[in-house]
């Protein structure tokens, strides 16, 4: 419930703006007060009248409005709420926020606020995947901005992929998670790594592990749902990013280590990423060409930093609970028990990723939790249920 909370809702210009009307309704139903802000482009998609009618409050839409300034100045407006939500967050507004632009009311409020900001991005798939948008997203995550979505699916423009705004119910859940007061992990910071890493061979090729990122995303969401503030450091994964978390997107193991170090301190760190153990010692800056008569290519590999081992063995600033994963294909428990000691982590979740199990890339997992007290095999269940069980155990351990 959001009783007593005020949300400053910025509606930017995208077709998904129509979903905001439903979001306002859900927020009001959950007990929140909504101060609506409509950008000029946003007003092309929804009318100020429908927004104001549903919010039960006037719409703010102009930076230079003497009447509005006399009633409540824009600086005061930016701090009047408990949380700032931008839905839809367009590529343009994200870019302005990432670079500190302030050329309209919405961007000025975002720059002037002292409250946390939650973005619900919505844009065309190419715009979302564009390196500029991903760069801005990483900057915003490092600034502590929260995100929900985007979802993958068919888009209004007819293309398919990530870029659809999260559904209003999911945005509401992310808003509730951002307040986090309710859960057993309220006030805790959780760090989760997820997905594969890509180690460049040349500008078009890379080395990677198989990883969908589904288990890591589910763990981050389960921790956020229990009230934790979650930093989610992810390699290029196919699973949607978790909602209500600060998402830091990286490519290589070296970038992942840097992002993890920047995110510390944390109360708990879960290392679910499938980090490539090796990188190409000297990636080529131009595409390596096939050569007539040369059948084989040799790549010289260098060992990547072991991020889990590094964090688990930090002399100062080590998270209280460090959890690793061990994807094994044989002697799962024996190998994972030895790995827990080698890495220095508190818990290790071992799973059998033999192709016959269908776990890799699938929606289910079968894990054995290895702690200092021994091994505990959990039943095969959905990755979501596995994440919920792990988050419950983490909450118990940190209580
Ligand atoms: O050694 P192995 O790759 O099997 O270890 C798996 C565990 O270690 C996972 O938790 C993974 O996220 C973590 N890891 C890491 N950095 C590496 C390799 C693995 O954090 N370079």
55, 78, 116, 255, 332 from 230: Cα distances, Å: 30, 24, 13, 18, 29
pLDDT at 268: 98
Domain-ending residue, one of 158, 179, 200: 179
The residues facing 10 across adjacent strands are 37, 86
pLDDT of residue 245: 83
State the distance from the centre of ligand 1 to the C-alpha of 308, rounded, in angstroms.
6
Total domains, the chain: 2
Looking at the structure, tell me whether residues 169 and 251 fall in a common domain: no
Q: Are 358 and 339 in contact (CB under 8 A)?
A: no
Domain limit, last residue, from 143, 161, 179: 179
Instruction: Examine the domain organization and report whether 156 and 192 are in the same domain.
Output: no
Whether residue 57 is found in the same domain as residue 151: yes
Whether 1 is in a domain gets the answer no
CATH number of the domain encompassing residue 87: 3.40.50.1950
- Measured in angstroms, how far is the CA atom of residue 343 from the centroid of ligand 1? 9
Same-domain check for residues 354 and 329? yes
On whether both 194 and 231 belong to a single domain, the answer is yes
Whether ligand 1 lies within 6 angstroms of the CB of 306 is answered as yes
Active site residue 245: no
- Cα separations (Å) of 8 from 53, 143, 275, 387? 16, 19, 39, 32
Query: What is residue 70's predicted lDDT score, i.e. its pLDDT?
Result: 67
In this structure, the answer to whether residues 351 and 313 fall within a common structural domain is yes
CA–centroid distance, 307 to ligand 1, in Å, is 7
Q: DSSP string covering 93-118, please?
A: HHHHHHHT--SSHHHHHHHH--SEEE
What is the reported pLDDT for 248?
Answer: 87
Rounded to 5 degrees, φ, ψ at 206 are: -150, 165
* Domain identity same for 248 and 379: yes
Place of tokens 């990423």: 273
Enumerate residue ranges in the chain where pLDDT < 50. none
Q: At what angle do helices 168-179 and 19-29 cross, to 10 degrees?
A: 40
Q: Are residues 152 and 198 in the same domain?
A: no
For a ligand 1 pocket test, name from 208, 232, 255, 273 the mutation site with the most ligand atoms within 8 angstroms of its C-beta.
273
Domain with 287 in it: 183-399
Domain boundary among 160, 179, 198: 179
DSSP conformation class of 14: S
Q: State the Cα–Cα distance between residues 229 and 243, nearest whole angstrom.
A: 11
CATH number for position 386: 3.40.50.10300
303-314 pLDDT, tens digit per residue, is: 999 999 999 999
In this prediction the pTM is: 0.71
Pairing of strands 246-249, 268-271: unpaired
Give the model confidence (pLDDT) of 83-121 as tens digits. Answer: 999 999 999 999 999 999 999 999 999 999 999 999 999
Q: Does a structural domain hold residue 308?
A: yes
* pLDDT on residue 213: 94
**What does the pLDDT read at residue 180?**
67
115 lies in the same domain as 49: yes
């Amino acid at each position: 419930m959001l009783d007593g909370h005020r949300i400053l809702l910025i509606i930017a210009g995208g077709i998904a703006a129509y979903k905001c009307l439903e979001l306002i309704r859900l927020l009001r139903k959950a007990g929140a007060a909504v101060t609506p802000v409509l950008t000029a482009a946003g007003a092309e998609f929804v009318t100020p009248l429908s927004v104001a009618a549903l919010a039960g409050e006037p719409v703010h839409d102009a930076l230079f409005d003497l009447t509005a300034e006399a009633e409540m100045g824009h600086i005061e407006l930016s701090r009047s709420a408990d949380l700032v939500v931008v839905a839809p967050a367009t590529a343009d507004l994200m870019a302005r926020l990432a670079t500190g632009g302030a050329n309209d009311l919405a961007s000025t409020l975002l720059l002037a606020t002292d409250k946390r900001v939650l973005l619900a991005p919505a844009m065309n798939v190419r715009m979302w995947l564009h390196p500029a948008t991903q760069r801005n997203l990483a900057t915003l995550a490092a600034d502590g901005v929260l995100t929900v979505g985007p979802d993958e699916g068919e888009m209004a423009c007819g293309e398919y992929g990530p870029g659809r705004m999260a559904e209003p119910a999911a945005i509401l859940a992310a808003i509730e998670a951002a307040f986090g007061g309710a859960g057993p992990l309220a006030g805790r910071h959780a760090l989760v790594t997820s997905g594969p890493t890509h180690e460049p061979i040349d500008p078009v090729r890379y080395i990677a592990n198989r990883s969908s990122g589904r288990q890591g995303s589910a763990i981050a969401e389960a921790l956020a749902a229990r009230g934790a503030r979650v930093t989610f450091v992810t390699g290029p994964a196919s699973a949607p990013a978790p909602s209500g978390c600060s998402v830091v997107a990286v490519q290589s193991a070296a970038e992942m280590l840097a992002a993890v170090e920047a995110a510390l301190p944390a109360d708990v760190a879960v290392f679910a990423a499938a980090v490539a153990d090796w990188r190409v010692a000297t990636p080529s800056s131009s595409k390596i060409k096939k050569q007539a008569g040369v059948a084989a290519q040799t790549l010289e590999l260098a060992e990547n930093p072991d991020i889990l081992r590094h964090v688990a063995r930090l002399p100062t600033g080590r998270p209280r609970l460090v959890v690793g994963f061990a994807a094994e294909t044989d002697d799962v428990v024996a190998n994972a028990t030895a790995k827990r000691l080698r890495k220095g982590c508190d818990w290790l979740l071992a799973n059998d990723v033999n192709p016959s199990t269908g776990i890799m890339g699938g929606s289910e997992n079968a894990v054995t939790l290895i702690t200092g007290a021994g091994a505990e095999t959990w039943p095969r269940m959905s990755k979501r249920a596995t994440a919920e069980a792990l988050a419950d155990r983490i909450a118990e351990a940190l209580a």
